A and B are shown apart, each in its own frame.
Chain A
Amino acid sequence: MRRIPANEQVRVSVEVNGRVVTGQAESRTLLSDFLRHELGLTGTHVGCEHGVCGACTIRIDGDIARSCLKLAVQVEGASIETIEGLAPAPDSLSVLQQAFVEHHGLQCGFCTPGILISLDTLLRNEPNADEMRIREVLSGHLCRCTGYTPIVKAALAARDRLKELD
């Protein structure tokens, strides 16, 4: 049984986008704050900090998670993927990201990192996801700009393109 007292700072080691990194956290530090403030990975956005908006969505050990609903100390030894890890190379975009550009899937971009992680996960797990399924998964995110329709179009286009490439 591991105990981290309230007033202590501990080292948290975690694999992020393929690299093992280490940072300091208190027991109460949210994973979203750890990623942004400790690791400098500010691509993960924080909207509501209580699980409603989905902006902070990342992948932990392959499954999606709202990073504001996890403690940093909980991911010791885990493998995390954030929006920074989605593009195949610094100067190119993933198929899904490219589709967002082409179909105006974003305006201000605040919600985008979380939505991309959710849709990327969906298309990995369910390459034939239909529009209903895409909308259902999208319902776990809030976007105040796009009205969602362009996001759905982008997701459908990415799905078709990924199938062609397969």
Chain B
Amino acid sequence: MKPAKFDYICAATVEDVAEVLGEHGADARVLAGGQSLMPMLSMRLSRPQVVVDITRVPHLDGMRIEDDHLFVGAVARQQSLAGVADLATRFPLLSQALPWIGHYQTRVRGTVVGSLAHADPSAELPLCLVAMNGEINLRSPRGSRRVRAEDFFKGTMLTDMADDEFIQSARFPVAKPTDRFAFREVGRRHGDFAIVAAAAVRDDTGIHVTVGGVNDVPFRRRFDGLEVHDIGDAVSELAAELDTRSDLHASAALRRQLVRSLASDTLKEVLS
């Protein structure tokens, strides 16, 4: 349970990070809150030659409202979300999902962006980013580019990031007063990753549900024009479309059942 050897680089600027990734590519790993990377290093699931620590880069810890979005810098902590003014009204989904993201202890250290980069299919923040139509800002020695949430997540711990890219920031849009959001999750114990999580959104573009913990990326499905009495059929369709599998945590049948009941609960909430 000790990491294999690596060169440690403590980056002082964003340019440093880009330079290291430009030079080492896939042999380098960015270290943010360490709540996922450190266990992977200790279990030797990850054996990078270079670890580049971004926690001391100035100004990367920003979390502020800008152009109707919550701007989240690469090392802003998950727990800092709790300090965003009017989180519950301006970012209802983040507010509802926050207590489900691991434990208080891991939220104090883990970063929002680190969770997005890690792209665990059961993680709450990737689900929120997809459900909210958020955006990722990538940086590399070649420059910067923006990627929409739905194009960013590619598979289990697989994203659109190239080997020389890292996430400089992420953006979550502010909710309009008329938008409705609901979030539900079932896990084994408090603080565990979700077995299934669901988020329903109703806004001026329509109604949709995003499901986490089942497919290898957060799965979003539109239900425009849905009425309360159609919810039963809608969630059965949704459960059938998903790639439900059995694993150590739950059987495929239990997962389908959880999808139906969590999607149904969240849809009822946004339609009521």
Which A residues are within 8 Å of any B CB, using their own CB? 1-7, 26-28, 30, 33, 49-52, 54, 57, 63-66, 68-71, 73-74, 118, 122, 136-137, 139-141
Contacts and interface: CB of A to CB of B under 8 A. Distances in A.
A2 B7 CA distance: 10
Nearest to B57: A1
Contacts of A57: 105
Contacts of B8: 3-4, 27-28, 71, 73
A140 B5 contact: no
Interface stretch (B35-43, B60-68, B207-215): B35-43
A54 B3 CA distance: 19
B6 A27 contact: yes
Sorting the interface of chain B by its residue count into under 10, 10 to 19, 20 to 34 or 35 or more gives: 35 or more
Nearest to B3: A28
A65 B108 contact: yes
Interface string B1-12: 111111111111
Nearest to A5: B7
A113 to B, nearest CB: 14
A136 B106 contact: no
A137 to B, nearest CB: 5
Contacts of A1: 9-13, 16, 19-20
Contacts of A66: 35, 105-106, 109
B20 to A, nearest CB: 8
B104 A69 contact: no
B191 interface: yes
A6 B16 contact: no
Interface in B86-133: 99, 102-106, 108-109
Nearest to A4: B8
Contact of A2 (B6, B9, B51): B9
Interface in B3-50: 3-13, 16, 19-20, 31, 34-35, 38-39, 41-43, 49
Given A50-B42, A69-B34, A63 B108 contact: yes
Contacts of B2: 28, 30, 33, 49
Contacts of A2: 9-10, 12
B106 A51 contact: yes
Contacts of A6: 5-7, 49
B265 interface: no
Contacts of B20: 1
A74 B53 contact: yes
Contacts of B244: none
Contact of B104 (A30, A49, A51, A136): A136
Contacts of B5: 6-7, 26-28
B1 A50 contact: yes
Interface string B146-184: 000000000000000000000000000000000000000
Contacts of A52: 39
Contacts of B38: 30, 50-51, 68-71
A70 B13 CA distance: 21
B140 interface: no
A122 B2 CA distance: 30
Nearest to A27: B8
Nearest to A54: B105
Contact of A49 (B1, B31, B99, B190): B1
A3 B9 contact: yes
